[in-house]
Amino acid sequence: MSDLSQNILFEHPLNEKARTWLRLEFLLQQLQHNRSLTNLTNTLGFFRTVSELLDIIDRGDVRTELIKELERQQQKLLAWIDVPGVDVERLNALRHSMKDQSSILLAAPRLGQSLKEDRLISMVRQRLSIPGGCCSFDLPILHMWLHNPKLVRDEQVSEWIGTMMPLNNALNTCLSLIRQSGNYQKQTSANGFYQDNAEDSDILRIRVDSAYQLYPQVSGHKTRFAIRFMPFDSEQGETPDRFTFEIACC
């Protein structure tokens, strides 16, 4: 990466549904990236991610919201069928894919249930809130598991992650379509401040030139939002009187 010659993308949810989905995406990506458990450090990171994932799933009916969103996106695609120049074959393939994902998600066991019932995961979760609570004398079962052959551990991790695939696939589809629904527009911030309307949007996507060394603090909801751009160095950093950035309301 070049030091100061790239845009940084920031995303901000405009409703609780999008907030939950972005957090789930963040955690599911960590599971995939950290699935090779070679030492205690990354193993505890993996189990902590699983625990946070289960905590979020327990807070609301994620399955129902995703199925509703897949149905909503199918209806939006249906409205494009008669538009001249639209690739109808590709559109129908996407609609059928979303229909299949809805069926798989609906037929899947309760989200996260198999992970919560797993003995090793359950025992590690109980100790994660205790400082240093996963030492070998606290969790000898984890210490023993880490000494299993890597192939055995990899198979177990793949099985755990596999239980989340119906959620992962549906979530990726919904977020991808939401993100594609908004086009970036150049806007100008005055004294580090910008506000606008966001009718029925779910996510704000903000691109800022890294040369400014600014990050956005966003407040808002589905109808209106405000952005305050803050310098990374809060003591000596400065915010230009006017600077250009890109934003998409999705």
Closest CA to 227 of 181, 182, 196: 196
Sign for the pseudo-dihedral over CA of 120, 121, 122, 128: positive
Higher pLDDT, 200 or 120: 120
Please state the length of the chain.
Answer: 250
What pLDDT, on the 0 to 100 scale, is given for residue 244? Answer: 93
pLDDT band at 239, cuts 50/70/90? confident
User: What distance in Å separates the CA atoms of residue 31 and residue 242, rounded to the nearest whole number?
Assistant: 40
For 162-212, give the DSSP string. Answer: HTTHHHHHHHHHHHHHHHHT---EEEEEETTEEEEE-TT--EEEEEEEGGG
* Domain 7-12+182-249 identical in fold to domain 35-181: no
- Of 106, 136, 124, which is closest to residue 54 (Cα–Cα)? 124
Per-domain boundaries in the chain? 7-12+182-249, 35-181
- Percent of the chain exceeding pLDDT 70 equals 98
Residue 249 reports pLDDT greater than 90 = yes
As a whole number of Å, the CA-based R_g of the chain is: 22
174 or 89: which carries more pLDDT confidence?
174
pLDDT over 60 (residue 169): yes
Residue 226: C-alpha distances to residues 131, 189, 210, 232 (Å): 39, 11, 20, 19
pLDDT per residue as tens digits for the range 99-143: 999 999 988 888 999 999 999 999 999 999 899 888 889 999 999
- Record: fold of 35-181: YacF-like (1.10.3900)
| Beta sheet of 242-249, edge-to-edge order | 7-13, 203-209, 242-249, 185-190, 193-197, 224-231, 214-220
DSSP class of 109: P
Which residues, 6+ apart, have CB-to-CB distance to 180 below 8 Å? 250
Mean pLDDT of 91-98: 89
pLDDT of the residue at 5: 54
21-30, 35-44, 73-82, 197-206: least confidently modelled range: 73-82
pLDDT tens for each residue of 53-87 = 999 998 878 999 999 999 998 888 888 877 787 78
Task: Say which residue the tokens 């198979």 belong to.
Answer: 155
* Fold for the domain defined by 7-12+182-249: YacF-like (2.60.440)
Share of the chain above pLDDT 90, in %: 66
Mean pLDDT of all residues in the chain?
90
- Report the predicted TM-score, pTM, of the whole model to 2 decimal places: 0.90
